[in-house]
Amino acid sequence: MKYVYRKLMMLLLLWFSLAGCDGEGTLLDLYPWEPIVNPEVRMLIQDNQIIHAQFSERSHISGITANGNFNTGDRFTSFDFEPLAWQGEGLLEFGADLAVRVVPDESSFSLLYSGDRGKTWNDHGRPIPDPEDQVLGKISPVKLFVGAENLIWLLCRQRVGGERRLLLYEVNVAEGTHKTLLKKQGALALTAAAFDRQNGWVLWRNPSVDRERVQLLKTIDGGRTWSDGATLPRMGDPLMGVIDDSNLLVFGETGGAFHSTDGGATFQTVATDMGVIKRCQVVTNHVIYVLAEDGRLGKSTDGALTWNPLEAQSGNTLVSGSKMNFQNERRGIVYDVDRMFLTEDGGAHWNVLIYPYDYVFE
C-alpha cells in the first residue's frame, strides 16, 4: 500500500509539473480596466499647457493652450484641437466671450482683444493714456478687469518724480472708445473691480504716508465721482470679489479675508481657513467659490459669511488647480496647466478630465 501511495504521489507531482508551462502575460492582464482620462489629451499638456478654459455651451468646454485651441462636448472623450501659436505676452484677462491683453511698449502700452479665443487679435488702436499724462513718466498696467457685458477696467501705476500716481481707465472695445475714470496722486494702485458700469472699487495705498494701510475708493456713478471707503490692513497683492453693488470681498496675500455688505464703507473679517486665496468666482449672491494658493477649492453658500474648504478628490487624485470656471452653482471646472477636473454637483463629486498620468505620455 505504501508503494502504491509513493507511486501515486510521484505521478501527481510529475503531472502538476507539466502544468507549469510558459504562458504569455498574466491572468491579471485579462482583467478589465479603463483609463480615467482620454490619453489623447496629451496634446494639450505634453510640451504644451492649458492657459484658459471655460464652458462655452450647455456642456461644452472650450479653451486655449499654448499650442492651440480645444473644444469638447463630451468631457474630452473626444475633442477638437486647432493648432495655433498663442500670443500671451502682457497682462491677460478673460471675459465671458472676450480675451483681453495689455502689452507694454517703449513709452506706454497697447490693448489688444480677441473674440475668437486668440485666433485674431484686434488692437484698440488709440493710445489709452492722455498725452499729457504720458510725458510725466512711464505708465505701467497692474490690473486688467473684464466684467459683464465686456466692461473693461485697466488700472495703472505711474511714478511722477518721487511720488506714485494711480490711473484707472475704462475701455469700450465695441465702440473703440475709452475714458479716464480716476487719477489719484500719491496712490500706489493695487487692484480694481466693478459690478457694472456704475459701481466699482479701487484699492490703493500710499507707501510714503502709511505703509501698513490699504485704502478703498468707491464709485456709484461710473467713475464720475469717487468716495473714500474703509481702511484695511496692509496686503501686497489683494484680490477682490464682487457679489453685488453692496457686497464686496477682499482677500489679502497673508490669508486674511474681509467682507463688506455696505459697498465698502465697512468690512468684517471672515475666516476661510484656506490660506492665501488666489481666485474668486461669485456664481450667485449666495454661492461663491475660491481657489487657494495651494490649489484647494473652498465654497461659501451663504454669501461669504461662512466658508468650507472642499475635500475635493476624484478617486485617489486630489482635485486642485490655479483657475476655475463655474457655469452655475453646481457645474464647474477647476484646472491648471496640465489638469482639469469637473463637478456637476457643486463640488461634492469630481471627474478627472485631464491629468498627467504616466500613460498619457506613453
Partner 1 sequence: MRLLVLRRIVWMILFSLAVLPLRGQQSIPVYLEGEIGVDRFGDGDVRSVFPAGAAFRLGAAFALADQERLRLRPQGGVKFFGNTIDEEVTEQLLIIKGGVQVSYDAFFLGRTTFFPYLAVDYNWVSNFDMESYGEDDVSYSENYLRGTGISEEVGLRVQVSDWYVKAGYELFRPRLRVRQSIVDDDLTSGYVTPPSHPFRFNTVNISIGFSIRP
Residues found near partner 1 in the complex (CB under 8 A): 8, 11-12, 15-16, 18-37, 315-317, 352, 355, 357-360
DSSP string, 136-177: TS-EEEEEEEE-GGG-EEEEEEEEETTEEEEEEEEEETTTTE
Question: Least CB distance from residue 352 to partner 1, whole Å?
Answer: 8
**Which residues face 331 on adjacent strands?**
none
Give the residue among 161, 157, 160 at the shortest CA–CA distance from 169.
157
Question: Least CB distance from residue 133 to partner 1, whole Å?
Answer: 54
Q: In which residue are the cell numbers 496629451 written?
A: 42
Between 60 and 359, CB nearer to partner 1: 359
Backbone angles phi, psi at 81, to 5 degrees: -135, 125
Question: Least CB distance from residue 236 to partner 1, whole Å?
Answer: 37
Question: Least CB distance from residue 340 to partner 1, whole Å?
Answer: 14
Question: Least CB distance from residue 319 to partner 1, whole Å?
Answer: 14
Between 4 and 85, CB nearer to partner 1: 4
Question: Least CB distance from residue 79 to partner 1, whole Å?
Answer: 18
Q: In which residue are the cell numbers 471672515 written?
A: 270
How many degrees, rounded to 5, is the angle at CA 26 between CA 22 and CA 31?
A: 155
Between the alpha carbon of residue 119 and those of residues 48, 53, 80, the distances in Å are: 17, 15, 15
Question: Least CB distance from residue 144 to partner 1, whole Å?
Answer: 36
Between the alpha carbon of residue 330 and those of residues 287, 319, 321, the distances in Å are: 9, 16, 18
Question: Least CB distance from residue 356 to partner 1, whole Å?
Answer: 9
Between 16 and 47, CB nearer to partner 1: 16
Between 3 and 15, CB nearer to partner 1: 15
Between 6 and 211, CB nearer to partner 1: 6
Between 246 and 317, CB nearer to partner 1: 317
**Which residues face 186 on adjacent strands?**
none
Q: Measured between alpha carbons, how far is 212 from 121 in angstroms, rounded to an integer?
A: 41
Residue 332 CA from chain centroid, whole number: 12
* Radius of gyration over every alpha carbon of the chain, rounded to an integer in angstroms: 28
Between 12 and 305, CB nearer to partner 1: 12
Half-sphere exposure of 189 (CA within 13 A, CB side): 27
Between 225 and 316, CB nearer to partner 1: 316
Q: In which residue are the cell numbers 502682457 written?
A: 90
Q: Measured between alpha carbons, how far is 117 from 287 in angstroms, rounded to an integer?
A: 28
**Which residues face 16 on adjacent strands?**
none
* The three cell numbers locating residue 274: 484656506
Question: Least CB distance from residue 315 to partner 1, whole Å?
Answer: 4
Between 121 and 357, CB nearer to partner 1: 357
Q: Measured between alpha carbons, how far is 302 from 287 in angstroms, rounded to an integer?
A: 7
